[in-house]
Structure 1
Amino acid sequence: MSEQHTYRVIVRGTWDALSEESRARLVAKAPEHGLGSMRFTEEGSLTYEPSPLKHFSMRFTVVSDAADGEEMAGALAEDRAERALRGWGHGFAGLRSTVTDLDTMKINVKPASRR
């Protein structure tokens, strides 16, 4: 079994060809999908601004084989985003992802200041 890595993936996109019903649902649910709702989860968390209703982002946690790399983690997250958005009946376009491998990221710790 190969080594597993945990990735944080942000999938960004643009709302596209939204029906009036879909637009109304997004505007009504906007308070649930504001900046305070940003979380990295397996299911993904959706965030957007209701006015103008143009762009959105979804944040995912993806666990995948390290050998498959960040590209596969991004593809998996984009697939999850597509399925979720289609399931909700929302039109979208231009999905693109940004991936961070939590197992290889370097954490810079600032030394305590001397007084």
Structure 2
Amino acid sequence: MTKRTFRITVRGSFDALTDGQRAALQAEAAEHDLLQARFTEEGHLSYDLAARPFFTFRFLEHGEAEEDVVAASVRAETAAELWLTDRGYGYKGLKSQAQDMSLAAVGPRQKQEARRKG
């Protein structure tokens, strides 16, 4: 079987943060800048707390079958919950969305690159 790559996005919003928690998040804001967002196996967190209370975790997972995306989504949500809970951050509205990259449409730039290589 071929290895499939899944991109899982877990979104939510911070809830009832203390002043200390808000300050800690603001101090680390450069590491979690939206312009630096990327999909990683350990999960990358991005937020702009000065603008809004929302956050996004981006996870990169792998599987062998299309059905593996469900388990990958559960693992991603669990990892996001653990990260938030371990730090004592309140949150609400946690939702995930997954994309199997083997089923993703190929864009014009990707087609052009494939022609050059082929």
1:77 aligns to what?
76
How many residue pairs get matched? Answer: 111
Instruction: Please give the secondary structure, in 2, of the residue aligned with 1:66.
Output: coil
Q: Which residue of 2 aligns with 1:107?
A: 106
Summarize the alignment of residues 1-115 of structure 1 with structure 2, pairs less than 5 Å apart.
4-109=3-108
Residue 97 of structure 1: CA displacement?
A: 1.1
Contact 1:15 1:55 in 2 (8 A): yes
Q: How many angstroms apart in 1 are the aligned matches of 2:52 and 2:89? A: 12
Deviations 1:16-68 (A, max 9, x none): 12122211101111122112320100111111112144101010001234253
Where has structure 1 moved over 2 Å in runs of 4 or more?
Answer: 2-5, 67-73, 108-112
In structure 2, give the amino acid aligned to 1:108: G
More helix by share: 2
Secondary structure of the equivalent of 1:75?
helix
Q: CA RMSD in A?
A: 2.2
Runs of at least 5 residues in structure 1 that lack an aligned partner in the other structure: none
Compute the displacement of 1:86 (Å).
Answer: 1.4
1:75 Cα deviation after fit? 1.6
Contact 1:15/1:53 (<8 A) preserved: no
Gap runs ≥5 in structure 2: 113-118
User: What's the TM-score, normalizing by structure 1?
Assistant: 0.81
Answer yes or no: is the 8 Å Cα contact 2:66–2:100 preserved in 1: no
Identity of aligned residues (%): 36
TM-score by length of 2: 0.80
User: Secondary structure, in 3 states, of the residue corresponding to 1:18?
Assistant: coil
